Amino acid sequence: MSVFSRFRRKRSVYRATTDEERMARYVYLLNTLPASVIESAHATAFRDLPAHTRREMFEQLRPFLADGERDTASDDPTVLARLVRRAEERRSSRTAGDARTPAGEPARTAVGTVDDANSDPRDVLLQTGVVAIVAHQFLMSTAIASYFTVGAGSLTIGDEPAWVGEAYDPSAGGIEGAGMGADAGAYDGGAAGFDGGFGGFDGGGLGF
């Protein structure tokens, strides 16, 4: 049984997609949306994770803490979303070849040096077993809906893949921005071990 059968959905667009399609859509948005929108959507997605899971993710993303954040609560979803944003920025920079460093040396970022072994946010999601639920909640967040309905994304939604319009454009019967996550349900700890075949998932080369 799919983990997402545990969630009630308001719109048929989510019932129509498979787990793998959700993952591919999540990766697409990570690679295309403004960092501020990604951070806000992740804060919503992380809010429903158990505190112990957020703490585990926090520890793996600790290299991205600024000095002034050392005393911040480690299970705060907003802080965690900020760290993931920084890690995603580092990931994009490294992928583009803009963060090349000599072999064996840690990469430098705005918050110091980063050990590459712990710097990939997508690996962190996979290792903590929450990537599927985070992807689902991310797609259902008001931040994403607002971006495509009243934000900058509404101006270029016609240039996006068809599923973006189907999911978020009200004129196409997509999800309304208001109350978008209301029926998403709460995180079920039993899903922490779900891998849905994503242990080796790469989204068709999309980045996992």
At 91 the pLDDT is 84
3-state secondary structure string, the chain? CCHHHHCCCCCHHHHCCCHHHHHHHHHHHHHHCCHHHHHHHHHHHHHCCCHHHHHHHHHHCHHHCCHHHCCCCCCCHHHHHHHHHHHHHHHHHHHCCCCCCCCCCCEEECCEEECHHHCCHHHHHHHCCCHHHHHHHHHCCHHHHHHHHCCCHHHHHHHCCHHHHHHHCHHHCCCCCCCCCCCCCCCCHHHHHCCCCHHHCCCCCCCC
> What stretches in the chain show pLDDT beneath 50?
1-14, 16, 99, 101-117, 176-206
Confidence (pTM): 0.71
At 134 the pLDDT is 93
